[in-house]
Structure 1
Amino acid sequence: MQIVWMSILAIIVLNIIFAMITVFREKRDIAATWAWLLVLMLLPGVGFVFYLFIGNKLSRKKIFDIKAQESIGMPELVQAQKEMLADDEDLLSSRQATENAKEMASLFLESDESILTKGNKIQIFTDGAEKYDALIKDIYKAEHHIHMIYYIFKDDKIGNRVLAALEERAAAGVEVFVIYDALGSRALKPKFFKKLKALGGEAETFFGSRFSFINLRFNYRNHRKIVIIDGKIGYTGGFNVGDEYLGEYKKFGYWRDTHLKIEGNAVLPLQSRFLMDWNATVSHHKLEYQESYFPLMKKKGKSNMQIVSSGPDTETQQIKKGYIKMISMAKESVFIQTPYFVPDDSVLETIEIAVMSGIDVKIMIPNKPDHPFIYRATTYYAAELVAAGAEVYIYNNGFLHAKTIVIDGEICSIGTANFDIRSFKLNFEVNAFIYDPEIARQQKEIFYKDIESSYLLTQSLLDGQSRWLKFKQTFSRLFSPIL
């Protein structure tokens, strides 16, 4: 018996030593370090398997490979805009040249080299059927190229409708390139794109693995949703390709999301983003600058905007900084919609400061989880904000997947990044930051319409929660830095 206890003690001591070596050998923030230590301590052996798949940081070589992809077609425009700022020249039209917009434009030029484009036409979609009807119609009109990135691409009704449109255009000689994420689209078999490839198109998995069940880059996903058609039309936002996004899964019910169709020169940075992601994904057929990829367009609409990207290849966390900047600049209101609300301390404190400053802060989250562990952490932080004085609404008409923020009816952001640490640090994301009061007011009206299908989370409702539910929320929150 003594030998057994000595063996158990030895295993515990070795587990502690290896846990500390494993976690501290890579630079990471303190909260994530302690969260991983907790996992490794509580789950001896099993914790190391989790860490191997989702705790390992990107290798320096892979980060270099991603960063080495030039910002194709953009450097000259970025430099010109920086010089304009240095000379105090106005980048924005007078109608949209508020001090807040100028500060945001400067922030993204410096942190992400994101050019500011004027005169874009924007259409907001909140319904999956409408979004895909418009997208497929535009795909069939493509004349030169269709470039597409989706985190989730499924072999179902809508997936096959999109594929059929891509195949038809590829057969007509249009260049068709597709990137789909290896984890998000894990159920998709390579043969799904066999006909498209035979017709001259290409489809590649982002951060894939030769062995579907072993992928040591499991934790770093391309969560972007981007479509570029002829360099003139762009789509980005929350909708993936799958029937659940049309509200056809009973588990979720109606799928409430937000997506953009963009016409104008804001399509150019989306095009550049695709080319960089493509070149970081493939080992063959690297893409280079072509004039046909970047057709400069005359004014299509009235909206000024910047396309901002972030990912684990940089420590800057550009989109998170944009969210913080927007919230801290607000004078009247901050409206946020997100399916996952797991903020780090900097974001949470910025929101709480806004509440305490008398800003009208409204946050909307779903009434059901698609990832239970993350949802429990979301409801924990929602309760914190209710206690601070914010209004938290629970969307009750299906599943809310929109990733939006609007301040003062003046500036808004719509994109792929959630209000969680994963989107801030681990996923490759893209957001549109829009400096147009008309679009911001439109987004604010959408929020108010969604309130009609929501209920207010009150302190009395929180007090009525069971102890077991509160325990699950608190326990999930402990792991928020690594969710």
Structure 2
Amino acid sequence: MKRLLKKGKRSILRGIFSRTTIIVFLILLQIFILISSVIWFRQYQIHFQILGILMMSGSILYLINSQMDTLSIITWLLVILPFPHLGTLFLIYTKQDWGYRELKSLIKQSTQAIKPYFEQDQEILDKLKKSHARTYNLAQYLHRSGGFPVYENTRVTYFSNGETKFEALKDQLLKAKKFIFLEYFIIAEGVMWGEILAILEQKVKEGVEVRVMYDGMLEFSTLSFDYVKRLQKIGINAKVFSPISPFVSTYYNYRDHRKILVIDNKVAFNGGINLADEYINQIERFGYWKDTAVMLEGEGVASFTLMFLQMWSTTNRDYEFALYLLPADSSIEAKGYVIPYSDSPLDHDKVGENVYIDILNQARDYVYIMTPYLILDSEMEHALKFAAERGVDVRIVMPGIPDKKVPYALAKRYYPALMESGVKIYEYTPGFVHAKVFVADNIKAVVGTINLDYRSLYHHFECATYMYQTDCIADIILDFKQTIKMSRRVTRSTLKKEKFSTKIIGIVVKLVAPLL
């Protein structure tokens, strides 16, 4: 009994004095000091009111003349008008982005350093221009925005769930000879990560270089603060992207939401599937977990190798990129074109959203979409509605069982307007859809990490694979049609039957949609 009490006491003390508790306490303390300062200044009532009017006026002028979308401006006004002092200070703080300037500088340096290594074969580009002008224009945009080349001779395999991707991933890891790079938003200890880690440890013993990078938010959720050291002890070079610090900062917005695995510059995996047991339905969370991924083999893998190295080098400025650009498998011959690309929240170029909008604007017959979230800015909402109004068959598959109640309620606020324009919306009855898929007209598709919400489109580091006339597009279409069969169609009647609480939450939360 005494041992149990001592053990319980030690656990409580570890919880109280843990890094997580200290960070949360210091952040709350900073917020308390800020609010207390504003309250203290209120004793100077007249001066305080005049200052508030000036701050509010300046904020309104700034917002009206900014390049923000309309909904973001409205959201800021709803914060500033009732609370001019705190609201304006928050706006200034957000727009100055104190706390991430160093990150922005490092990202800029590594991006510039890696651009020369993205080599575009001009013959491929010329060929694309002659036969497929619209896709050529998108390829030109992606090349200008991040240097991303368009490739031929890249075989793409599509996985319609996490289980099949997991088996293929293990097979490819076992073939590694030179290096293995992993960059994931979520890694959680369990069956999936345990089997992968065992292979990585084996490969380290064989002399293969292994690097693992994961987002700093995991230190609050699935992994311990010392996990990097634990990986280093077994020979894995590990790194946390944007670790959590005890200071209030917009730094927390910019998460690494990418999922990249590269092996010897010959094979790359990309898609929505993280390294946790729910993604392979080893454990059940929100019913059956529906997700997707792609595996690239051939020339296009080089872009994912470079994307990983670019993010890795943001902290140590290791620019030895050429060492890892091993020759691609010359025996691979595949139809179509592939453009792997990434999106950064720090360059103010909405690459992920622009690619989606281009697909919608260029579509002639249909656009099929799978996404876990639907929190749209005015541009994306207009593109979806306009495509449907032009007669394009636009279909969106959403989760039937949500992982987060508030975003789910908010998504339903967009349904009526989309449906009015002709967009067809479905909810996947077996469970949760985490896939991020666009496929259009039997000829083009995107599979990646980019959700249809503000976080993915504005605040996260993301990546995806654009495919044009590749063989695997037929598999993506088939998977979508099978998913539709297991989904219920949303109608005005079903929307009316929604819980009153869901409707109220959606109405209220839409006021602050850009903050979610």
* Pair 42,378 (structure 1): closer, same or farther in 2 beyond 3 Å: farther
Q: Equivalent residue of 1:477, what SS?
A: helix
Structure with larger Rg? 2
- 58, 63, 71: which is aligned to 1:31? 71
- How far 1:226 sits from its partner (Å)? 0.2
Match of 1:451 in 2: 484
Match of 1:63 in 2: 104
Cα distance, 1:403 vs. partner? 0.3
Paired residue for 1:297, among 329, 332, 339? 329
CA contact (8 A) 2:394 2:423 kept: yes
CA-CA distance at 1:305 after TM superposition: 0.5
The answer on whether the counterparts of 2:71 and 2:377 sit within 8 Å (CA) in structure 1 is: no
User: 1:475 is matched with which residue?
Assistant: 508
**Mean Cα deviation higher: 270-279 or 97-106:** 97-106
1:204 aligns with 2:239: yes
Separation in structure 1 between the aligned mates of residue 52 and residue 419 of structure 2, nearest angstrom: 40
1:316-465 → structure 2 map (5 Å cutoff)? 316-436=349-469, 438-465=471-498
- Measured against aligned partners, the alpha-carbon deviations of 1:361-412 in whole angstroms (never above 9, x if no partner) come to 1111112322222222212112321122211010111110000101111100
Q: d(CA) in 2 for partners of 1:245 and 1:276?
A: 27
Q: Which residue pairs with 1:134 in the alignment? A: 168
Question: Unpaired runs of 5+ in structure 2?
Answer: 1-41
Query: Which runs of structure 2 are paired with 1:95-244 in the superposition (5 Å)?
Result: 97-184=131-218, 186-187=220-221, 188-211=223-246, 216-244=250-278
The aligned amino acid for 1:109 is H
2:267 and 2:297 in contact (8 A); partners too: yes
Distance 2:107 2:361 in 1: 32
1:381 aligned partner, one-letter code: Y
| Mean Cα deviation higher: 194-203 or 407-416 | 194-203
Counterpart CA distance in 1 for 2:84 and 2:284 is 38
- Matched with 1:288 is 320
1:241 & 1:379 partners in 2: Cα distance? 29
Shift of 1:347: 1.1
Change in CA separation of 1:7 and 1:394 when aligned onto 2, cut-off 3 Å: farther
Q: 1:149 deviation in Å? A: 0.4
**TM-score, normalised to structure 1's length?**
0.87
2-side partners of 1:151 and 1:216: how far apart? 18
Cα gap change, 1:18 to 1:200, in 2 (>3 Å):
farther
Residue of structure 1 in register with 2:22 after alignment: none
Q: Is the 1:111–1:316 Cα contact (8 Å) retained in structure 2?
A: yes
Match in the other structure for 1:3: none
For the residues of structure 2 that align with 1:458 and 1:436, how far apart are their CA atoms? Answer: 34
Where does 1:85-100 land on structure 2 (aligned, <5 Å)? 89-91=126-128, 97-100=131-134
**Structure 1: distance between partners of 2:382 and 2:232:** 49
Distance 1:468 1:19, change over 3 A: farther
Q: Aligned pair count?
A: 469
Gaps of 5+ in 1: 1-5
Per the TM alignment, residue 46 of structure 1 is displaced from its structure 2 partner at its CA by: 9.4
Give 1:472 deviation, angstroms.
1.5
The offset of 1:448, in angstroms, is 0.6
Query: Which of 299, 302, 310 pairs up with 1:265?
Result: 299
Distance across 1 between alignment mates of 2:43 and 2:102? 40
Structure 1 residues 445 and 84: alpha-carbon distance in aligned structure 2, compared to 1, 3 A threshold: closer
- Does the CA-based 8 Å contact 1:54-1:217 persist in structure 2? no
Which letter does structure 2 place at the counterpart of 1:150?
Answer: Y
Contact kept in structure 2, 1:231 and 1:295, CA below 8 Å: yes
- The answer on 1:308 being equivalent to 2:341 is yes
Amino acid in structure 2 at the alignment position of 1:288: E
For normalisation by structure 2, the TM-score amounts to: 0.82
Q: Which one is further off, 461-470 or 225-234? A: 461-470
Q: Which moved more, 1:199-208 or 1:221-230?
A: 199-208
Per-residue deviation, 1:33:
4.0
- Aligned residue type for 1:298: S
Higher mean C-alpha deviation, range 465-474 or range 392-401: 465-474
Q: Percent identity?
A: 28
Contact 1:55 1:219 in 2 (8 A): no
Offset of residue 200 of structure 1: 2.9
**Equivalent pair of 2:370/2:398 in contact (CA under 8 Å):** yes
The answer to whether residue 286 in structure 2 is matched with residue 252 in structure 1 is yes
- Write the deviation string for residues 125-175 of structure 1: whole angstroms up to 9, x where unpaired: 122122112212222221111111000111222222222221221222211
